[in-house]
Chains A and B, each alone.
Chain A
Amino acid sequence: MARRPAAVRYVVLFLGALIFLFPFYYMLIGSLQSEPDTSIGGAFPTSGLTFGNYADINSRVDLVGSLINSGVFTGGVLLCTVVFGVLAGYALARLQFRGRGTLFALVLLVQVIPFQLLLVPLYVLIVRGYGLADSYLGMILPFAINTTAVFVFRQFFLQLPDDLFAAARLDGAGELRILRSVALPLVRPALLTAVLLTFIGPWNEFLWPFLITKQADMQPLAVSLANYISNVSSRAANPFGAILAGACVLAAPAVALFIAFQRQFTSTDIGSGVKG
């Protein structure tokens, strides 16, 4: 292959990468400036950086409390998705039982039902009907079992060879035992992918927790930061510094996890989850 196209390819990719990364760099710089400096030179400061904005946002939004709320919300969703999703995925892939076809058809159907259609009834049911406003359960419920994850788990279990299961059953192992000792250890790496993909959803989710949490001490960080952006910021001395400091705190866990495990985000896994 000729040299020139390769060079052009790298130039295009690196230019694109710089454009994509610049807002993140600018987020960090902005969060450290004591005075917002939006001139071109301000993007490359040499001095005057401080952590004051982090203290400022922490005094207006309870950062630790919000992070704990985000953690409980995300953890609850992950736990339910992994436990119930693995069970359902295993049953759908490996067991023949009455209603399997119907359930699988429902899995596919649920993937195409848009959330907008459920927004009003879920709000009415969860907030008005069950009185779950400002509670972790109310936050978790609509996301408790991620259907995409069920589908991904099913794909993992389908890829295992049949003989393995036949042999285990011949040895008299029950299905739960087979799932725990044979199937799960073999799909562990793929399981990690599903967990990472599921993590992004609730950690970054805004609309639903925004709708059902009115008490500040129950809000996940995405919601408290958004409320700060839309209500309080205009009255603060350096509103953008505080917003960007909060944004860095919100972005850091997901970005750090993603970079640490970026090898796990392979195109095939995500493709299999979405193709349906």
Chain B
Amino acid sequence: MTAAPIEGGVRRNRVAAFFGRHPVGMILSAPYAVYIAVVFAYPLGFSLWISFHDYFFAAPGAVVDHPFVGFDNYKAVLTDPAVRQSFGNIGIFLIINVPLTAALALILAVALNRVVHARTFLRVAFYVPYVTASVAVVGVWLFLFNSGGLVNSVLGPFAPDPSWLVNEGLAMPVIALFVVWKQLGFFILLYLAALQNVPNELYESASVDGANGWNKFWSITVPAVRPATALVVILALITGANLFTEPYLLTGGGGPNGASTSPVLLMYQRGLQQGEPDFAAALGVILVIGVLIVALINRRFIEGKD
């Protein structure tokens, strides 16, 4: 649209130059802009500020000093054995959860994509855990995996001792499996979306060249959905870094000797229960930096060079 020299056109142009062609847009998006400022930007800055100061909860209304302490909180976090253990636990979680999630989601999405019969039933079956509250399904996993539970009844003499959720070596793997089961439906959806963009001609020409199903899967499907795989890995990573409900409820607040304590669970325990919000804020910053580093490495490896 060119600026037509109509009545008041000059004034309108000047207004447009400053506010844009539709200044009403500022009003429409103002609540959202304010929301971002109040709920994200300010707390984000505040979080960094807390992590560099001696911050503690004072009585309401009391005026207290929060002196600057430099990297003291970060030093405390990095030298704390419980913190190291929690990062190690997340490492175990990711090593089990991420490959299993990506592989199962892709295989099931490829299979679902070609299915004609019982499509609705199959989709619902795989998505239902994703839409259900963690707290509700944790209840049934507790029932399944406790020492006298159905899983051990089926295994009989092969049941682990101590049982799954109170076993130092098994608590974290059970949590990782739980999260695979819980989230898989969402990742299947992502892969189904990606599969829509794979051109059919590729499969046809591969068939002409005599490729079998397995060849086609490895040399066409897997490379074609690479961007989706990168996304799945990053989202699974973020889920892992956010882990709280499952270790808190499945393994009674962190498992045997802290074997399933996650960094966020530790943030809750140290920051809010034991009243060290500065320690928790520094731990949060370190956790996020860790996630960013792993996400960047993942980008290089899966998406190839930029």
Contact = CB atoms under 8 A, between A and B. Distances in A.
Contacts of A142: 39
A144 B139 contact: no
B47 A16 contact: no
B50 interface: yes
Interface stretch (B5-13, B19-27, B81-89, B165-173): B19-27
A91 B28 contact: yes
B291 A114 contact: yes
B173 to A, nearest CB: 17
Contacts of B242: 114-116
Contacts of B50: 120-121, 124
A119 interface: yes
Contacts of B284: 116-117, 119-120
B20 A244 contact: no
Interface in A245-276: 246-248, 250-251, 254-255, 258-259, 262, 265, 267-268, 270-271, 274-275
Residues of B contacting A: mostly? helix
Interface string B114-147: 1101101111111111011111111111111000
Interface string A112-146: 01111111111111001001000000000110110
Interface in A196-226: 200, 203-204, 206-207, 211, 222-223, 225-226
Contact of A125 (B25, B43, B127): B43
A243 B143 contact: yes
A225 B122 CA distance: 30
A84 B32 contact: yes
A23 B144 contact: yes
A267 B36 contact: no
A110 B128 contact: no
Given A21-B128, A128-B60, A262-B124, A247 B136 contact: yes
A117 B264 contact: no
B25 A95 contact: yes
B236 to A, nearest CB: 13
A27 B264 CA distance: 28
B153 A121 contact: no
Contact of A103 (B29, B44, B245): B29
Given A122-B39, A265-B189, A247 B137 contact: yes
A97 B40 contact: no
B140 A98 contact: no
A27 B139 contact: yes
B68 interface: no
Contact of A97 (B26, B117, B281): B26
Contact of B144 (A26, A96, A103): A26
B302 interface: no
A17 interface: yes
Interface in A56-91: 84-85, 87-88, 90-91
B300 to A, nearest CB: 18
A60 B280 CA distance: 33
Contacts of A18: 125
Given A114-B238, A120-B267, A175-B28, A97 B21 contact: yes
Nearest to B107: A12
Given A24-B128, A116-B267, 19 more contacts: A14-B122, A20-B129, A84-B35, A91-B26, A91-B28, A95-B22, A114-B238, A117-B287, A118-B40, A118-B43, A145-B31, A175-B28, A204-B135, A206-B133, A211-B268, A225-B136, A229-B135, A246-B136, A258-B128
Interface of A: 5-6, 9-10, 12-14, 16-18, 20-21, 23-24, 26-27, 30, 36, 38-40, 42-43, 84-85, 87-88, 90-92, 95-100, 103, 106-107, 110, 113-125, 128, 131, 141-142, 144-145, 150, 174-176, 200, 203-204, 206-207, 211, 222-223, 225-226, 229-230, 240, 243-244, 246-248, 250-251, 254-255, 258-259, 262, 265, 267-268, 270-271, 274-275
Interface of B: 18-26, 28-29, 31-33, 35-36, 39-44, 46-47, 50, 57, 60, 107-108, 111-112, 114-115, 117-118, 120-129, 131-144, 148-150, 152-154, 181, 184, 186, 189-190, 192-194, 196, 213, 231, 235, 238, 241-242, 244-245, 248-249, 252-253, 263-264, 267-268, 271-272, 277, 280-281, 284-285, 287-288, 291
